[in-house]
């Protein structure tokens, strides 16, 4: 028995002298891998731990959805940009205030007679509210204005007859007061135009007409005196410079009409006003 105890003691001392003593050898877990030495099962375990088909499919779908959303947003942005550019170009393109060569064409183009302008104008160039106010601002009891076939007022013209003057090429005659109020209302129209999106026709949208109106305000003619003669225009994309008639009367001069190309047409004969019933709509003052 002593010898067995001695042998155990020596075995223990030998084990303590072993450099691997105290190290824990790795053990395969039967719970995580019941077949630790089976290569086939080991490979399957590795794949199952690193590859998840469902998760991969979902990620792929999310990427596709994200890319599609980006593409749709880009297309929307491109379309919006194109629309804005197109709108800007259209808004800067000058709109015509011409109505045609005849009253029939003017009506077909949705034009109406504008008594402030003494012209037929399309909707884009009219301020119908202002026109209605102007037609109630005259000296007559009902607020209307007096229009006449000649300077001597031998025949009164209705507003309807005035509007039809392009058919005959005739002119109407009216008072100094009408001319002054016409100028004032055109200044109102020019002020309101940007707010209402209205186009001021070239015929009046120029410094020459403003200077002409300044001259009308400074004149000392009686308000009820017949000093203004005017035609009715169908073409308002031209500049008209009002002038005086010679018309065999002392101090009566001549006027000029500027078309949309800036050309001047001077009327030099003594009865020049007889040639302004073609839609030029030129006004003259005596």
Spell out the residues 6+ positions from residue 172 whose beta carbon is closer than 8 angstroms to its own.
118, 147, 148, 149, 157, 162, 165, 229, 230, 231, 232
Q: In what order do the strands lie in the sheet with 226-231?
A: 156-157, 147-148, 171-175, 226-231, 283-285
**H/E segment holding residue 128:** helix 128-134
pLDDT, one tens digit per residue, over 233-249 is: 999 998 765 555 433 34
- The DSSP bridge partners found for residue 190 are none
Q: Where are the domains of the chain?
A: 103-285
Distance between CA atoms of residues 36 and 38, nearest Å: 6
pLDDT < 70: residue spans in the chain: 1-55, 87-93, 240-286
Instruction: Please tell me the predicted confidence (pLDDT) of residue 148.
Output: 98
């Amino acid at each position: 028995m002593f010898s067995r105890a001695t042998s155990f003691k020596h075995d223990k001392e030998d084990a303590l002298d072993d450099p691997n003593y105290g190290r824990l050898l790795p053990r395969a877990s039967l719970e995580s891998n019941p077949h630790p030495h089976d290569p086939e099962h080991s490979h399957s375990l590795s794949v199952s731990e690193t590859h998840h088909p469902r998760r991969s499919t979902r990620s792929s779908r999310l990427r596709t959805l994200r890319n599609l959303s980006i593409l749709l947003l880009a297309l929307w942005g491109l379309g919006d940009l194109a629309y804005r550019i197109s709108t800007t170009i259209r808004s800067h393109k000058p709109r015509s205030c011409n109505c045609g060569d005849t009253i029939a064409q003017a009506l077909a183009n949705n034009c109406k007679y504008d008594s402030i302008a003494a012209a037929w104008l399309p909707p884009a160039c009219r301020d119908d509210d202002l026109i209605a106010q102007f037609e109630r601002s005259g000296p007559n009891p009902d607020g209307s204005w007096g229009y006449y076939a000649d300077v001597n007022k031998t025949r009164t013209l209705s507003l309807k007859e005035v509007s039809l003057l392009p058919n005959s090429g005739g002119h109407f005659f009216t008072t100094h007061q009408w001319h002054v109020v016409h100028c004032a209302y055109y200044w109102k129209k020019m002020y309101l135009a940007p707010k209402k999106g209205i186009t001021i026709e070239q015929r009046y949208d120029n410094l020459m007409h403003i200077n002409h109106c300044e001259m009308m305000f400074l004149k000392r003619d009686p308000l009820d005196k017949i000093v203004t003669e005017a035609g009715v225009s169908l073409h308002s994309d031209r500049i008209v410079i009002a002038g005086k008639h010679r018309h065999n009367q002392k101090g009566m001069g001549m006027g000029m009409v500027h078309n949309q190309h800036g050309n001047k047409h001077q009327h030099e004969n003594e009865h020049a006003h007889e040639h302004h019933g073609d839609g030029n709509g030129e006004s003259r003052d005596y």
